[in-house]
Amino acid sequence: MFQSTHSNRRNRPTGQTLMARLKADAADSRRPWWVRVLIRTALLAVFAAALGAGAWWVRDRWVYQIPSLAIREIVVEVDGVLAPDEVRRLAGIRLGRNILSVDLPKLRDRLQLHPRVAAARIVVEFPGTLSIQIRERLPVAAVEPLAGSGIRARYLLDETGHVIMPLSPGTAPATAVAAEAALPRITGRGPVSPEADADTLAALRFLREHSQRPEGALPDIASVSVGVPGLLDVTTLDGATVRFGGEPTSFELQLRRWSDLRATLAATGERRVIRSLDLSVSQNAPIRWLESSTEQPATTPATPQNRPRLKRIPRRTHV
């Protein structure tokens, strides 16, 4: 009596079947995956744009308007001939500007475009001080190549071969102008390009090594000729000609030999003066003497005391 009939099987609950059909219909009506990705990306973009606009509004309408962050002082520190007012003009920063609105890398790059600026350092000192520190290029030699038209143009080189135009009278302290006018000359260069070639860089390295010798140990340099490749013909202010050669790393040894020779002559009371010396020869360097009784130096001797020199003089000003 408990067996199921055909009518009972037809009247069985159909909830599971209906649910399966609904799921199938939902799966069929679902959007493609790329449409969903596109919608999500658009929503994220709108959110990011709104966030960026809000941050910009907060920065310009609130942060940049905080009175305590206004620039109240600009400190300029230089170590050469540049005037602090010129550095401020190049910087283009006015007092009262919000200190957070200054693009420090861009300001540094703008200052380093000046031909006399080797490096610039910008320091923000909260709440309202902007410090600008300038390290200038220090010229070590002058070049006067003869142009094709016969006009001689003079420019300066620092120890790296960077070209610097000479100071004009009235634009810098008179001592700095005189010191640049008295710089050693590099001769023997052609008028093709002001860029330093290998021999010119060797001459600059020699002048740097010479300047590091004890004061008075060697005579001052009047000119360095690079006319012979691989050799430097140095003329001193007392009229002597000394030839240097080899790699730039050997200049220190050759300068020491020259200094020792002069010290030996002074210790023995030798009155003869060196007229020419070839230090490019490592052993038994050829030497010619200038007899004081029969010959006179080609140039007037100059002492370190009466020849102006360029020096780094740190200067710090506040505005």
In the chain (319 residues long), the average pLDDT of successive 10-residue segments reads 50 55 53 72 79 63 66 89 89 86 90 92 88 92 70 82 88 86 85 71 91 86 90 91 83 91 86 86 83 50 54 67
Whole-number pLDDT of residue 234: 93
Same domain, 146 and 262: yes
> Residue 26: which domain range?
12-61
Whole-number pLDDT of residue 67: 74
Provide the token pair at 139: 């010229």
Whole-number pLDDT of residue 20: 55
Same domain, 108 and 223: no
Q: How many CB atoms lie within 10 A of CB 252?
A: 15
Same domain, 106 and 185: no
Residue 72 makes CB contacts below 8 A (sequence gap 6+) with: 95, 96, 128, 129
0.85 surpassed by pTM: no
Whole-number pLDDT of residue 26: 53
Same domain, 149 and 268: yes
Whole-number pLDDT of residue 28: 47
CB 136 within 8 A of CB 118: yes
Domain edge (last residue) among 94, 117, 136: 136
CB 134 within 8 A of CB 82: yes
In-domain check, residue 309:
no
What's the sign of the alpha-carbon dihedral 311, 299, 212, 246?
A: positive
Same domain, 93 and 228: no
